[in-house]
Structure 1
């Protein structure tokens, strides 16, 4: 009976932690302007679960929210706003009646794709390598294009999640931590390979 109770707790605890973290992320996003810091904090918690085995939720989330607040506010919100603006631009151009439509779509689409690819490494680099500012953007660019296969895999997963959001926004909100978990798992595996390939460049500290 004790063995069964132990196994049951072992299975239920991770699920409970995921649900609690998802609720904390939603609450953290309620002021809208704190979407970036809340997202960074959630990813940082997931990273701690992977790296150190620390499965704390409340204490870790609020500690990491404060730690990454400035970067999440500036860079996190900036990248998210970029995604929104690119999406609006694409929708506008799609309804545009012009001979230049295909060229404009190609240009915006290419820049948007680069923006998304860099974004696949942006948040993970922020929480894993503790980079900031231009150094973070440069690090994210190098990481994404040094392991393009992983970046594309994360991006495809994001696109599938966007389709889920289109079908059911509520379901998407409560699936965010699962999506983030997959993202951080892919990213940490990618960082590990890059650090083995070029330890002088990809040195975690």
Structure 2
């Protein structure tokens, strides 16, 4: 039957889905020691970017290659992010419990800073997986790219947030969504976003 032909669209789709399931498992396993989440995210996007350009020959080999190569840098950035967010949460709790005239202005400023930091997080690990730069340059580039490509940044944020928004808006689907995330969710999200990242990154490569 034609749809069972190795070069058919159906078989190609099934092969891609199998790749994404394997990638999702590798990502989750890589995140199990909490301090390796950054390295696992970098490896996830390294493979996803390759899959989006049909240049990935081995999911497992590519994942661990990136995981090992970017472990130190990604782990330091993860630690920095966790530290900054911990400080922001502490400040927010302090402001929420305080009563002073400019409280609302400080809370708005806090929210803006938190959003900008999230924009940086959106790009920082894909950038680590794609380019070799110092941590300071990675952070600077992530910030600049997120702002100069704001419409793409917002689209990526929507893709990231949508499954969790549905989960909290419709609690009866929590088990279904969590199951999907465990099986293929993270890799599908990164794969979808990789087409956007590739478009953005290629523009800067061309410009340089």
TM-score tier, shorter chain, comes to 0.7 to 0.9
SS of the residue corresponding to residue 34 of structure 2 reads coil
CA shift in 2, pair 1:142/1:60, >3 Å:
same
TM-score normalised according to structure 2 size: 0.80
Deviation per CA, 1:100-146, whole angstroms, max 9, x where unpaired? 44223112101111111222221222112222311111121222222
Structure 2 CA distance for aligned equivalents of residues 133 and 56 of structure 1: 28
Structure 1 CA distance for aligned equivalents of residues 14 and 190 of structure 2: 20
Structure 2 CA distance for aligned equivalents of residues 35 and 4 of structure 1: 38
Equivalent residue, structure 2, for 1:4: 4
SS of the residue corresponding to residue 44 of structure 2 reads helix
- What's the offset of the Cα at 1:152? 1.9
Deviation per CA, 1:152-200, whole angstroms, max 9, x where unpaired? 221232232442564537347431111212222211112233445xx13
Higher helix share: 2
User: What is the root-mean-square deviation in Å for CA atoms of aligned residues?
Assistant: 2.6
- Count of residue correspondences: 197
Equivalent residue, structure 2, for 1:17: 19
Equivalent residue, structure 2, for 1:203: none
TM-score normalised according to structure 1 size: 0.81
Structure 2 CA distance for aligned equivalents of residues 11 and 73 of structure 1: 34
Pick aligned residue for 1:184 from 167, 177, 194: 194
Equivalent residue, structure 2, for 1:33: 35
Q: Is residue 130 of structure 2 the alignment partner of residue 128 of structure 1?
A: yes
| Structure 1 residues not aligned, in runs of 5+ | 201-205
Which runs of at least 4 in structure 1 moved beyond 6 Å after TM superposition?
A: none
Q: Is residue 178 of structure 2 the alignment partner of residue 170 of structure 1?
A: yes
Equivalent residue, structure 2, for 1:152: 154
CA shift in 2, pair 1:71/1:180, >3 Å:
same
CA shift in 2, pair 1:95/1:186, >3 Å:
same
What are the within-5 Å matches in structure 2 for residues 40-119 of structure 1?
40-51=42-53, 53-80=55-82, 82-83=84-85, 86=88, 90=92, 92=93, 95-96=96-97, 98-99=99-100, 100-119=102-121
